[in-house]
């Protein structure tokens, strides 16, 4: 089958009114990726060499989105919604290019398994003209039933048209199918609209092909894989299923998740073996965690790279561009953005490091801030190897703290500090003996007077 070409036609023209959203339904995200992009990834994993997206509602927005996750995909607009067969024929130009296999998929089934698609393609390779993907829901009510005889699929019967015996069939239509490329347009063009809604139904090609003596079969996908999304409750359900799958994959790959159900991954999260993830950790898009790292509870990581044996959190936030090198530490209530924390450096407590480099072995004290933004532009702070920045210091960028430099606690540093120099940037302390007691007595007298006046 590896030599067979394949076009995936993905139907994504639905308005998704039940989502109650101005955003096209298929652009709502699962694990940080539009659900239609998950469908594209499954198609590509099943060997699709061409992609045709049939769009409608929000066409311009859809085209912009598609460029990000499927730049080579062709888009076709279904101007009028006249049924699923009509939607597939909107991509007539792509289908006519002569692919061996045509996969018809739906943009709102983000959990579809590539293996289920490959199984349907395999049936085409074995000579079938049509392979319909079915599934077995816990309750088949409302689904079209797959009617089989002698190992062949003879019809897809909508529930309202089923006999009592057919209603007991648990094998249902998932909507997706594979069609032989040399038969696809001819079969689709034979679909009529002589029905109550006057629409052209893709499912009709089963009986059309069967009447011609062509081989029509059904393959089976899991219920979860075939799950379609129509509202936000189902979107949340699909998110939960995706997360459960991904957590299991991570643990089987050697990652320790202490409370798996509280850890959330993005579609592209990379996490190495022997990493330990404590409860309530969120991985946003673009995160790479190397082996042996430890991510403590309640940390939020997005667009960041964490090297081997780093220690992050608890309650740490790594924003896009954060780059932690081997054995670096970013501790509790710290935020790092667009900054490199080099090997063995420590950013332990209540600190913001943005647009900066913290050199190897440097230590950043609690409450330190790199003041990187003046309201118009961002500026860089460079902290050298082995430097020590005392607690509650403000480093006003652009500024450099040299190798081995030492910044006294409570300093505001506006000028660069040479290697091995000691810098103070704070007002001189003045102590007035007895004035503390005098001040307390004055404040107490004023408070008493205010209380008497209120009475």
Model confidence over 392-418: pLDDT tens digits?
A: 999 999 999 999 999 999 999 999 999
| Cα distance between residue 73 and residue 63, in whole Å | 10
Q: Give the per-residue pLDDT at 1.
A: 52
Residue 211 parent element (H or E): helix 204-211
State how far Cα 16 lies from the chain centre: 20
pLDDT given for residue 14 in this prediction: 79
Looking at the fold, whether 318 and 208 belong to one and the same domain comes out as no
Same structural domain for residues 51 and 167? yes
Q: Is the domain of 23 the same as that of 61?
A: yes
Helix (H, G, I), strand (E, B) or coil at 33: strand
**Domain co-membership, 27 together with 92:** yes
On whether residue 333 sits in a domain, the answer given is: yes
Percent of the chain topping pLDDT 70? 100
Each residue of 237-294: pLDDT tens digit?
A: 999 999 999 999 999 999 999 999 999 999 999 999 999 999 999 999 999 999 999 9
Q: Domain end: 220, 255, 273, which one?
A: 220
How much is the CA Rg of the chain, to the nearest whole Å?
31
Domain of 398 in residue numbering reads as 245-423
The verdict on 267 and 402 lying in the same domain is: yes
Residues 40 and 146 in one domain: yes
Mark which of 155, 187, 220 sits at the end of a domain.
220
Q: What is the DSSP letter of 404?
A: T
Looking up tokens 């797959």, which residue turns up?
A: 146
In contact, 107 and 193? CB cutoff 8 Å:
no
Domain shared by 216 and 263, yes or no: no
Tell me whether residue 446 is in a domain.
no
Residue 51 lies in a domain: yes
Q: Where are the alpha helices (DSSP H) in 135-225?
A: 164-167, 184-189, 204-211
Residue 215 lies in a domain: yes
Q: What is the CATH number of the domain that holds 73?
A: 3.90.550.10
- Establish if 225 belongs to a structural domain: no
Domain count within the chain = 2
Same domain, 346 and 388: yes
**262 and 157 belong to one structural domain:** no
Q: What is the pTM of this model?
A: 0.89
Regarding whether 330 and 190 lie in a shared domain, the answer is: no
Same domain, 387 and 337: yes
Query: Which backbone phi and psi does 237 adopt, to 5 degrees?
Result: -65, -45
Exactly one of 28, 86, 296, 349 is catalytic; name it.
349
Burial class (CB within 10 angstroms; exposed 0-12, middle 13-18, buried 19+) of 376? exposed
How many Cα atoms are found within 13 Å in the side-chain-facing hemisphere of 453? 6
Q: Is residue 444 part of a domain?
A: no
Residue 29: per-residue pLDDT: 95
**Domain presence at residue 440:** no
pLDDT, one tens digit per residue, over 5-45 is 999 999 998 777 888 998 889 999 999 999 999 999 999 99
| 295 inside domain | yes
pLDDT score at 81: 85
**pLDDT for residue 79 is more than 90:** no
Task: Give the residue among 136, 156, 133, 159 at the shortest CA–CA distance from 146.
Answer: 156
Question: 153 and 282 share a domain?
Answer: no
Active site includes 349? yes
Q: Which CATH number fits the domain that encloses residue 405?
A: 2.160.10.10
Q: Which pLDDT value is given to residue 401?
A: 97
């Amino acid at each position: 089958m590896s030599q067979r070409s394949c076009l995936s036609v993905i139907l994504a023209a639905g308005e998704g009114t039940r989502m109650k959203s101005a955003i096209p339904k298929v652009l709502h995200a699962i694990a940080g990726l539009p659900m239609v992009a998950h469908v594209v990834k499954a198609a590509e994993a099943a060997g699709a060499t061409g992609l045709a997206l049939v769009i409608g509602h929000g066409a311009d927005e859809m085209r912009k989105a598609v460029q990000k996750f499927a730049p080579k995909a062709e888009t076709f607009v279904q101007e009028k919604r006249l049924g699923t067969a009509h939607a597939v024929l909107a991509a007539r130009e792509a289908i006519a290019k002569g692919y061996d296999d045509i996969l018809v998929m739906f943009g709102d089934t983000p959990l579809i398994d590539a293996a289920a698609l490959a199984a349907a393609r395999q049936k085409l390779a074995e000579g079938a003209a049509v392979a319909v993907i079915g599934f077995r829901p816990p309750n088949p009510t409302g689904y079209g039933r797959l009617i089989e005889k002698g190992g062949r699929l003879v019809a897809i019967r909508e529930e309202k048209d089923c006999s009592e015996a057919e209603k007991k069939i648990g094998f249902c239509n998932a909507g997706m199918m594979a069609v032989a490329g040399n038969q696809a347009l001819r079969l689709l063009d034979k679909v009529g609209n002589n029905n109550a809604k006057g629409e052209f139904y893709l499912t009709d090609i089963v009986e059309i092909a069967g009447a011609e003596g062509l081989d029509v079969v059904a393959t089976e996908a899991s219920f979860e894989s075939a799950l379609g999304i129509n509202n936000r409750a189902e979107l949340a359900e699909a998110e939960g299923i995706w997360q459960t799958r991904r957590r299991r994959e991570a643990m089987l790959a050697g990652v320790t998740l202490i409370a798996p159900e509280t850890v959330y991954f993005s579609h592209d999260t990379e996490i190495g073996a022997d990493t330990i993830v404590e409860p309530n950790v969120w991985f946003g898009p673009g995160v790479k965690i190397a082996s042996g790292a430890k991510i403590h509870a309640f940390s939020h990581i997005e667009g960041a790279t964490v090297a081997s044996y780093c220690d992050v959190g608890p309650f740490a936030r790594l924003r896009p561009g954060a780059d932690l090198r081997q054995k670096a530490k970013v501790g509790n209530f710290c935020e790092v953005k667009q900054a490199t924390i080099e090997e063995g450096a420590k950013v332990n407590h209540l600190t913001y490091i943005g647009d900066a480099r913290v050199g190897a072995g440097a230590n950043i004290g609690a409450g330190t801030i790199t003041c990187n933004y003046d309201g118009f532009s961002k500026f860089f702070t460079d902290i050298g190897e082995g430097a020590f920045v005392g607690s509650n210091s403000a480093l006003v960028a652009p500024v450099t703290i040299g190798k081995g430099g030492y910044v006294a606690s409570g300093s505001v540093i506006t000028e660069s500090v040479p290697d091995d120099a000691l810098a103070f940037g704070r007002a001189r302390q003045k102590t007035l003996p007895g004035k503390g007691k005098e001040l307390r007595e004055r404040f107490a007298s004023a408070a008493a007077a205010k209380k008497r006046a209120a009475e």
